[in-house]
Amino acid sequence: MIRVNDLSVSYGAVKALRNVSLEASPGLVTAVLGANGAGKTTLLRTISGLVNPVGGDIHLGDTSLLRMPTEEICRLGLAHVPEGRGVIEELTVEDNLRLGALASKVDIAEGLEAQYAQFPALGDRRKKYCATLSGGERQMLAMARALIAQPRVLLLDEPSLGLAPQVTSDLMKLILRLCESKNLTVILVEQNAKGALRIAHNAVVLHLGAVVASGDAQTVAADEDLRRYYLGLVE
Ligand code: ATP
């Protein structure tokens, strides 16, 4: 389980997170929702050790992640798929996947086969340069590159960004299937509240760096005020 307690982050004068608390559990998708600038990316980057908080703490199980180097956090079983995917266009699909396995103890050949079994479209394109992939395939590659290290926790930053509605819908179902089948703790950051709430078990809504609502996803999705004022979901 990931437990974030009273977390605050500042970039100089900008308070990006204000006393944020949340919990995310194995086998569940926890959606973190909110408009541009709400602090969603900062939250994930702070959990990953890429940004230092000014207050609060973060635990993975019983272990505090505060002041722990990112590579050590990765070795504890946390994987982060960044906004924009971060795949390397000049490398093939297979070489991108190899990078994901480098810091882990997994057998690379076995890891590659496991990912090709899970994402057959990547297996078909294993020798293709990443620059030739569609947006949906790149997102799959970014997720496979994270999963090859067999993490316990998967942080996903805006996976649906730039994808067509049908591709987004398929991707969300895939995220849910991976989460449940592997008992992964998934924290899913999305501006696409509608798509995320369809698969999430729990949801946290951020506004200007603070939590304005949290609870089970169905309750959040049914709240008219949240839909209107924070999620942009009023039809
Ligand atoms: P988006 O969906 O646009 O990425 P977000 O919810 O992920 O938004 P953050 O990117 O975490 O929000 O940004 C939160 C606040 O912190 C914003 O006001 C943003 O301008 C500011 N911010 C983010 N990164 C930096 C930085 N490196 N330096 C200064 N301010 C930053």
Confirm or reject: Cβ of 39 under 6 Å from ligand 1: yes
Residue with tokens 């090859």: 148
Q: Are residues 114 and 15 in the same domain?
A: no
Mean pLDDT computed over 132-159: 95
Ligand 1, residues 7, 14, 48: which to mutate, most atoms within 8 A of Cβ? 14
Largest CA distance in the chain: 50
Query: Ligand 1 center to residue 37 CA distance, Å?
Result: 5
Q: Judge whether residue 204 has pLDDT over 80.
A: yes
Q: Are residues 52 and 96 in the same domain?
A: no
For 164, residues 6+ apart whose C-beta sits below 8 A from its C-beta are 136
Q: Are residues 183 and 114 in the same domain?
A: no
Q: Which two tokens stand for residue 33?
A: 């929702």
Instruction: Identify which of 107, 167, 183, 96 has the alpha carbon closest to the alpha carbon of residue 134.
Output: 167
Is residue 36 left, alpha or beta, with left meaning phi > 0 and alpha meaning psi from -120 to 50? Answer: beta
* pLDDT value of residue 235: 65
Q: Are residues 174 and 228 in the same domain?
A: yes
* Structural domain count of the chain: 2
Share of the chain above pLDDT 90, in %: 92
Q: Which residue, by CA, sits nearest to atom 28 of ligand 1? A: 11
The pLDDT-based confidence of 194 (bands split at 50, 70, 90) is very high
* pLDDT value of residue 102: 86
CATH number of the domain encompassing residue 169 = 3.40.50.300
Residue 102: domain span:
86-150
Q: Judge whether residue 215 has pLDDT over 90.
A: yes
Q: Are residues 216 and 188 in the same domain?
A: yes
